[in-house]
Amino acid sequence: MSEFLGPLSGFGVTFSTMFAKPTTEFYPEEKVPTAPGYHGRHQLNRYADGLEKCIGCELCAWACPADAIYVEGADNTDEERYSPGERYGRVYQINYLRCIGCGLCIEACPTRALTMTDDYEMVDDNRADLIYGKDRLLAPLADGMVAPPHPMAEGKTDEDYYRGNVIGEVRQ
Ligand code: SF4
Ligand code: SF4
């Protein structure tokens, strides 16, 4: 290209952009839906009766390349049960100052306890509040669910839970 046309072609990009329709987003007044499969805030899921799916195995924490997850498991007892089976996640934290949203943790979870939501509004003015605990990660109780601790559904085993054979029956 000649020395004369080179700069002109550069200005061509500028001129074409000047007349293009601008893309203006009016966030937060108007929120645009996220793309399908968006990796937003994590969620710790429950079974249909409210028991927690997390078994405190720490596989998510080991899979995380950013060392953003901290888990402390503990034993369930017959008097105090939070999940089917032997163990539950007593402490569960995700540090959103470290998380890069890669999703490797949810791939590693053996019980589908951990998934990711469309929620991207995770901002704060201090570091401590960006470490989310179970209080902000556990799924809310839906209809038919009872907050743990409580026993497993009558006549059901932990395998029935894992296989999806429990539908909100709670033995009190
Ligand atoms: S999404 Fe990635 S970086 Fe974030 S907690 Fe999961 S594994 Fe770690
Ligand atoms: S979220 Fe899943 S992988 Fe992580 S500790 Fe709980 S059960 Fe294990």
DSSP labels for 5-69? Answer: HHHHHHHHHHHHHHTSPP----TTTSPPPPPTT---SEEE-B-TTS-BS-----HHHHH-TT--E
Q: Give per-residue pLDDT as tens, 102-116.
A: 999 999 999 999 999
Does a structural domain hold residue 130? yes
Per-residue model confidence (pLDDT) at position 65? 98
Closest protein CA for atom 2 of ligand 2: 109
Global model pTM greater than 0.75: yes
**Low-confidence winner among 5-19, 37-51, 55-69, 70-84 (lowest mean pLDDT):** 5-19
pLDDT of 170 higher than 90: no
Per-residue model confidence (pLDDT) at position 94? 98
Does a structural domain hold residue 107? yes
Going by the annotation, the residues of the binding site for [4Fe-4S] cluster are 54, 57, 60, 64, 99, 102, 105, 109
Does a structural domain hold residue 68? yes
pLDDT of 2 higher than 70: no
Does a structural domain hold residue 13? no
Indicate if ligand 1 lies below 6 Å from the C-beta of 168: no
Does a structural domain hold residue 4? no
Indicate if ligand 2 lies below 6 Å from the C-beta of 170: no
In the reported structure, the alpha carbon of residue 100 is separated from the centroid of ligand 1 by a whole-number distance in angstroms of: 6
Does a structural domain hold residue 151? yes
Q: Give per-residue pLDDT as tens, 17-59.
A: 888 888 888 999 999 999 999 999 999 999 999 999 999 999 9
Domain around 110: 36-162
Number of structural domains, the chain? 1
Does a structural domain hold residue 88? yes
Does a structural domain hold residue 17? no
Per-residue model confidence (pLDDT) at position 172? 45
CATH value at residue 52: 3.30.70.3270
**Residue 119 φ then ψ, to 5°:** -75, 115
